[in-house]
Structure 1
Amino acid sequence: PAAPQREVSATLGRGVHRLARRLAPDHPAVTALAGLGSRPLRPVAFGALGAVMGVTAAELAHAVVHDELQTVAAAALKLLPGDPLDSVAWLLAARPDAESAVELALAVRTPDGLPARAAPLTEQWALDHARRERRLFLA
């Protein structure tokens, strides 16, 4: 990912790591994260949190996809103020696609199995956004 995306991932990962430390400071996954430094990337921190909570890979994947969807819905409400219930409807309507995304993710066993390793246009937008004086969002 582009540098701005890695930076945001590290910022978000720090928050997830803080939650995992609060829940189980002595858990092996939490102590392993601490060994990586103060800024674990979000996916790695989510993996440690999943280990702390004892969830399955599928449960963790569902939580991550839901987190992504609700982030987009919250951003949409900031950019295009409207009825918050509409964003709930968007999340519910996205459920079949979210389920499909989770199934595809869980089927991946090697990096070569990833459907896409990067999204060039999204990365370019992140680079452009980082250069602008007026920011819409940090994450």
Structure 2
Amino acid sequence: MTTPNDAPYKYLQFKGDQCYRRYIEEDIPAKSPPVTPKKQDLLKVKSHGSYGALLFHPNWKARRKEILHRDMHRCVHCRSDKDLQVHHRQYQFIASEQKFRLPWEYPDRLLITLCESCHNKGHNKYKVPTITI
């Protein structure tokens, strides 16, 4: 019998959406920008990009569409076709890069279609495992 410490992966615990936060560099205007900002009028700022923001990325929208098509636009649990969402069955932390895999980079086997109701029930009942790779 194996113990959690013997498992081929370990669970990481985070509060809120901290596990998805990555720093993104962006140019933002310093105070009130002139009509045509000059390079010296821009501040190089590191801001948080969160998991939620990544769900609006074109790569995720395309990946989501693929998974919905594969699952015939139905919840794999209750077969509903209302309020569909694509669920990650696990999250992967890439140790060498010190960041999480982007939502659209997961293999098909780790993505499933769920209706909003089944998705919420699942998250309330189970914690999505995070593995370090």
TM-score in terms of structure 2 length: 0.30
Structure with greater proportional strand content: 2
Structure with greater proportional helix content: 1
Rg larger for:
2
TM-score in terms of structure 1 length: 0.29
